[in-house]
Structure 1
Amino acid sequence: MKILYFGGQKSGKSTLAEAKALSISDQKPYYLATYDTSFGDDEMSVRIDVGTGVIPNDPISRRFVDYSGVIGQELAHICDEVYEVKLGMEIRLK
């Protein structure tokens, strides 16, 4: 099972993702950001949503925001569950 949590800075996504990982794992996850499936268990991603704030004016920063949105769409497509986090509350989108 692949799970994606995304939201803005300090939205509470890491706390909720950690709680979810602990609830579904047989063993305590040791590092969520680069967790692999070599043990045959679930996979979880936590992503900052940079496209909901002020869109930068300079080309490099704008490209970063654009690519971040494309990567987010691809991640959401391949994940079994997708959660948006705002104000410490999760909204299941998929």
Structure 2
Amino acid sequence: MKILYFGGQKSGKSSLAEKKALALTKNKPFYVATYNNSYDDKEMHKRVDKHKKSREDSFITIEEQRDLTKVLKPNQTYLVDCISMWIFNNLDEEEQYLKTQLEELEKIDCNIVFVLNEVTSGVIPFDKDSRKFVDLTGIIGQKLAKICDEVYEVKFGLESRLK
């Protein structure tokens, strides 16, 4: 089963995705953390620490910032949090590179719960990298929605099933 949770910043999508991943397996699921923790961003370090504390011993954490196909294996359950950071980490890659990774993930017989930030509803950004990020988020979001069995939009901690 492939499932997508998307929503705005602090919408509650990660908490709902964690609950879904736990419900999909009797074993301990894997939490694929995509944040590149090498930046000296103290506020983001606090966010990462909060996520770690919220999942405590419920998940086995795997850190992979760029190539998700390296870490996902058959017959397991994964929570990939978050696809937005994965896109950001691969901003220097071509669109097809990211799509190909998703196509490979679709073929793996495993449960994957994806988390994606919704950033495509605003104005077109002025700078090139921000535009590329927003564009890729929309393109990758469409690809994920297509390959996923279930898609949930999250607002204020409430999920709405779209698919």
CA contact (8 A) 2:20 2:113 kept: no
- CA deviations 1:43-93 (Å, max 9, x no partner) are 111111111344422222112101110010001001000001000000000
> Which residue in the other structure is 1:65 paired with?
134
User: TM-score, normalised on structure 1?
Assistant: 0.87
CA contact (8 A) 1:37 1:43 kept: no
Unaligned runs of 5+ in 1: none
Unaligned runs of 5+ in 2: 34-67, 77-109
Moved more, 77-86 or 48-57: 48-57
Q: Which has the higher helix share?
A: 2
Identical positions, percent: 60
> Which residue in the other structure is 1:11 paired with?
11
Tell me, in whole angstroms, the C-alpha distance in 2 between the residues paired with 1:54 and 1:10.
20
> Which residue in the other structure is 1:21 paired with?
21
CA contact (8 A) 1:7 1:85 kept: yes
> Which residue in the other structure is 1:52 paired with?
121
The structure with the larger Rg is 2
Higher-RCO chain (CA-CA 8 Å, sequence separation at least 6): 1
> Which residue in the other structure is 1:30 paired with?
30
Give the number of aligned pairs. Answer: 94
Tell me, in whole angstroms, the C-alpha distance in 1 between the residues paired with 2:32 and 2:114.
7
1:36 to partner: Cα distance: 2.3
Is residue 84 of structure 1 aligned with residue 162 of structure 2?
no
> Which residue in the other structure is 1:39 paired with?
75
1:32 to partner: Cα distance: 4.4
- Counterpart code for 1:21: A
- CA deviations 1:8-34 (Å, max 9, x no partner) are 111000000001111121112131446
